[in-house]
Amino acid sequence: MTTNAELLDRRNRAIPRGPFHVAPIFAERARGALLWDVEGREYIDFCGGIGVMNVGHNHPRVMEAIARQSENFLHTCFHVAMYEEYVRLAERLNEAVPIHGPCKTALFNSGAEAGENAVKISRVYTGRSSVVAFERGFHGRTLLGMSLTGKVRPYSAGMGPFAPEIYRLPYMPFFATHREMLDSEVERGCREALERLFAYHVEPESIACMIVEPVLGEGGFRPMHCVAMRILREACREHGIVYISDEVQTGFGRCGALFAIERYAMEPDMVAMAKSIGGGTVLSAVTARAEIMDAPGAGAIGGTYGGNPISCAAANAVLDIMEEEDLPGRAIQIGEKVLKVFLRLEEENGCVGAARGLGAMCALDIVDPSTGSPDPARAGKICADALGQGLLIMTASGNVIRTLMPLVITDAHLDRALNILESAISRAN
């Protein structure tokens, strides 16, 4: 039997250190919310391929769709010979996004590509060049993705120069939790931040778009405050700025609706999506009003593999599963249970702070009990302890423990996972 240690040694000799790994294990198989390593150990998966497996590993409907499409063809390139699965998926996404009026969709490969193309399309549509993003935001590892991402280490240190005309808003008070600030304080702080941006950094008339995660992903799983979302949307409408909702990690049921921005009852101009859209296959998309999407000319957007037929077939199955199994509703149930436990852990453990969440996208901070400062080392020990007990879980921003379990997880496995996490935190307290 091949061991994890043997494969890790081969990995270290063959692969650079840049591609990180959460745990020193190698997967052999996975089903639903469970994963088994090459040594036969079972784990409850709270990482979900980093937010990709909302419908679960190897969902039968997804596997059937992949098998059916693979019997016909694997690839033609949509720009050469088109196929119905791409058209059908675009039609369904046009109907699914919370945007009024006729919409159109273009398909790509990764979340970074979705974000980049959202910016490109916005620039052509508006005739403007500037882009606004957030501190702590994460939008990928490509050149423009790194430029948009609001954190230097580990994403962009030493990799400049970066794309120009990127301006940044502070994450606070826009991502303040309800326990930290009053609504009136949030509103005042957000308006002051926008005034500073427009007065000292970039005139609003030159801004093509704002790209916003409804919940910061790699930036610490902080949901945007509802007041902040409203103020941002009003500012974009006032100045003709395209509002892009980056739903790469928050989308496809994770936050209790197909798209997280629906939980805010807010309408974006454009939605960028990826990760769980493909049920484990490689796919991303950008959807917006038809007039915006039609701004670039023929050949201006696209790509050889974008909207691969296998991925489109899988994504159409994902949309069926979301509706038939009501996974957004299940996300709300999961989130209520997880947040209840997290809030109790915050009360009982000095090393736990700021439990929060939207739907099943929940998190808590791990801090030094004596100072309240972020404690990444302690968070790492908690994750390692949990792994030893059969729970695969990861951090964001170093000290934030986050939940990205498949939404098909059973109550029994969810309860067991939370018990494991609680015991790991208790030992680290």
Q: Say yes or no: 22 and 81 in one domain.
A: no
Contacts 24+ apart (CB under 8 A), 379-387: 381/428, 382/421, 382/424, 382/425, 382/428, 383/22, 383/23, 383/424, 385/423, 385/424, 385/427, 385/428, 386/420, 386/421, 386/424, 387/23, 387/25, 387/43
How many angstroms separate the CA atoms of 267 and 174, rounded? Answer: 18
**For position 178, which CATH number holds?**
3.40.640.10
Last residue of a domain, one of 271, 293, 324: 324
Q: Say yes or no: 44 and 127 in one domain.
A: no
Q: Say yes or no: 420 and 320 in one domain.
A: no
Q: Say yes or no: 86 and 41 in one domain.
A: no
N-terminal to C-terminal alpha carbon distance within the chain: 37
Q: Say yes or no: 21 and 156 in one domain.
A: no
Q: What is the pTM of this model?
A: 0.96
Last residue of a domain, one of 324, 340, 375: 324
What's residue 178's pLDDT? Answer: 67
Q: Say yes or no: 304 and 359 in one domain.
A: no
How many angstroms separate the CA atoms of 409 and 415, rounded? Answer: 10
Q: Say yes or no: 275 and 384 in one domain.
A: no
pLDDT in tens, the chain (429 residues): 899 999 999 999 999 999 999 999 999 999 999 999 999 999 999 999 999 999 999 999 999 999 999 999 999 999 999 999 999 999 999 999 999 989 999 999 999 999 999 999 999 999 999 999 999 999 999 999 999 999 988 888 998 899 999 999 999 999 987 677 899 999 999 999 999 999 999 999 999 999 999 999 999 999 999 999 999 999 999 999 999 999 999 999 999 999 999 999 999 999 999 999 999 999 999 999 999 999 999 999 999 999 999 999 999 999 999 999 999 999 999 999 999 999 999 999 999 999 999 999 999 999 999 999 999 999 999 999 999 999 999 999 999 999 999 999 999 999 999 999 999 999 998
DSSP state of 224: P
**For position 29, which CATH number holds?**
3.90.1150.10
Structural domain harbouring 290: 63-324
Which residues does residue 169 pair with via DSSP β-bridges, in sequence order?
Answer: 134
Q: Say yes or no: 213 and 271 in one domain.
A: yes
Q: Say yes or no: 339 and 424 in one domain.
A: yes
Tracing tokens 């996004």 back to the chain, one arrives at 97
Q: Say yes or no: 88 and 190 in one domain.
A: yes
What letter represents residue 262's amino acid?
A: E
Q: How many domains does the chain have?
A: 2
Q: Is the peptide bond before 173 cis (omega within 30 degrees of 0)?
A: yes
Q: Say yes or no: 279 and 183 in one domain.
A: yes
What's residue 153's pLDDT? Answer: 87
Q: Say yes or no: 309 and 336 in one domain.
A: no
Last residue of a domain, one of 324, 343, 375: 324
Which residues does residue 163 pair with via DSSP β-bridges, in sequence order?
Answer: none
DSSP output for 79-137 = TTS--HHHHHHHHHHHHHSS--S-EEEEEESSHHHHHHHHHHHHHHHHT--EEEEETT-
What's residue 312's pLDDT? Answer: 98
Which residues does residue 400 pair with via DSSP β-bridges, in sequence order?
Answer: 365, 396
326: helix, strand or coil: coil
